[in-house]
Amino acid sequence: MPPNELNSFTDFCYLFLSIVLEGAPFIFFGTLVSGIIDAYLPPGLIDKWLPKNKWLAVIMSALLGAIFPVCECAIVPVIRRLIKKGLPISCAITYMLAAPIINPITIISTMNAFNDSAGKSELLSAMTKDSSQALFVTSSRLLIAFIVTVGVGFVVMKIRTSSILRPSLISEKEKSDHEHDHSHDDAGEKPDKLVQAMRTALRDFVETAMYFTIGVAITALFKAYVTDSMIIAFNQSEYIGVNLMMILAFVLSLCSTSDAFIAANFPVPLSAKLAFLVFGPMMDVKLVFMYLSVFKKKFVLSLGIGLFIAIGALCYVWSDYKPEVKKAGAFPGAALIEDSPTIQQG
């Protein structure tokens, strides 16, 4: 064992491992689902489930997370497999981007984070009285995510598959789309679907977790070694705040179920917090690496830039419509939704 010395490297190891331990279980469950989809879901079945109208199908995909809640770590292997099984790419990408936000777990955690009971012990949670602020932040987060992800789905509909997917997925998808079936019976032995599912899960885990590991390592490096100077810039203007909060969300790679607690405590305008909450679960360092297991580099880059601009603009405009809030002091939640003070001073 190394000596019990604490330094930036041990901080890096600690940060790295804590994110891996938090996220990896979800990747594992995601790859299990991916394996099961691979072995048991017949190609073509998805077509039967989805509405025939492709615009409507995209809209439905954005809401699918409410029924099948999946966090952003787990969704990448699942979506990879669903695309191979014939899910239209526009629907797949919309589901992938929306599900981490439009799902009951994230909704509850966002409500909690922006509620006046945030972080309180049992004693204090019992005293919760007003949740209108939390309601506004949560519903704004959902609505902006919905608009953006459906928009991305519509745009993707117009793009050629070959310029989105990695080549290996294209051929699998074509295979599924064509559904022409020829069997080879030279093996003689009946294959076991469970074996197929587990073998796929193994392969998917190795690949997804590899990209995840690289992303987490970069995030941990940033947290352990980079100084706090960028924080100073956050408060200069709403415009800068929105952009910097999205950059911060990108670098921090937080889970969508916990990011609201971080956002709630940043001394930035509401628009910047919303941008952080919508952009982060769709695009961050670890996700970029995970997306690369499904999509082409150029597409991931365009998606990142597109989301950055669309979410930034929407959040900037959105916060102008925030409801009137009671003056701070009535309850702490008010402080969280107001444009300026969020951190208490002593």
Partner 1 sequence: MNLKRAMQFLSIFALMVWGGVFVYFYLTPAEDGTGPLIQKYVNANKNFDLWVLIAGMGLFVLAIFNVITFKQKSGICNHDHSHGDECDHDHDHQDHHDDHSDDDHVHTEACDHGHDHDHDHSDGHDHGEEHNHDHEQTTAGLAFSILILVVPVLVAANYSQGKFSPDYFRKLTQIESKMRAMEIEKNGGIVVQQTTMAEVKAAEEKAAKTADTPPDPSNEATTDVASFTMEDLKKMVPQNDAGSFMLEVPEIYYTAGDQQLMKVLEGVPVEFTAQVMNETVNNEAGNRLRAFRLLVECCAADARPISMSLEFSEKPPEFEEMGWFKMTGKLHYAKENDEWVPMLRVMEFNQTAEQIEMLY
Q: Which is nearer to partner 1, 124 or 317 (CB)?
A: 124
The half-sphere exposure of 131 on its side-chain side, counting CA atoms within 13 A, is 14
Tell me how far, at minimum, the Cβ of 120 lies from partner 1, in Å.
Answer: 5
Tell me how far, at minimum, the Cβ of 60 lies from partner 1, in Å.
Answer: 27
Q: Which is nearer to partner 1, 58 or 217 (CB)?
A: 217
Tell me how far, at minimum, the Cβ of 67 lies from partner 1, in Å.
Answer: 21
> Residue 107 has which token pair?
């909704």
State the Cα–Cα distance between residues 65 and 79, nearest whole angstrom.
12
Q: Which is nearer to partner 1, 29 or 154 (CB)?
A: 29
> Residue 188 has which token pair?
């003689």
The half-sphere exposure of 216 on its side-chain side, counting CA atoms within 13 A, is 21
Contacts of 190-196 with CB under 8 Å at 24 or more apart are 193/39, 193/40, 194/39, 196/35, 196/38, 196/39
Gyration radius of the chain's alpha carbons: 22
Tell me how far, at minimum, the Cβ of 55 lies from partner 1, in Å.
Answer: 28
Tell me how far, at minimum, the Cβ of 272 lies from partner 1, in Å.
Answer: 13
Tell me how far, at minimum, the Cβ of 206 lies from partner 1, in Å.
Answer: 5
Q: Which is nearer to partner 1, 73 or 283 (CB)?
A: 73
Tell me how far, at minimum, the Cβ of 332 lies from partner 1, in Å.
Answer: 3
Q: Residue 94's CB: how many other CB atoms inside 10 A?
A: 30
> Residue 342 has which token pair?
């969020």
Question: Which amino acid is present at 61?
Answer: S
φ/ψ region of 165 (left if φ > 0, alpha if ψ in -120 to 50, else beta) reads beta
Q: Which is nearer to partner 1, 19 or 315 (CB)?
A: 19
Q: Which is nearer to partner 1, 52 or 182 (CB)?
A: 182
Tell me how far, at minimum, the Cβ of 325 lies from partner 1, in Å.
Answer: 12
Q: Which is nearer to partner 1, 53 or 298 (CB)?
A: 298
Q: Which is nearer to partner 1, 54 or 120 (CB)?
A: 120
Tell me how far, at minimum, the Cβ of 58 lies from partner 1, in Å.
Answer: 25
Q: Which is nearer to partner 1, 20 or 66 (CB)?
A: 20
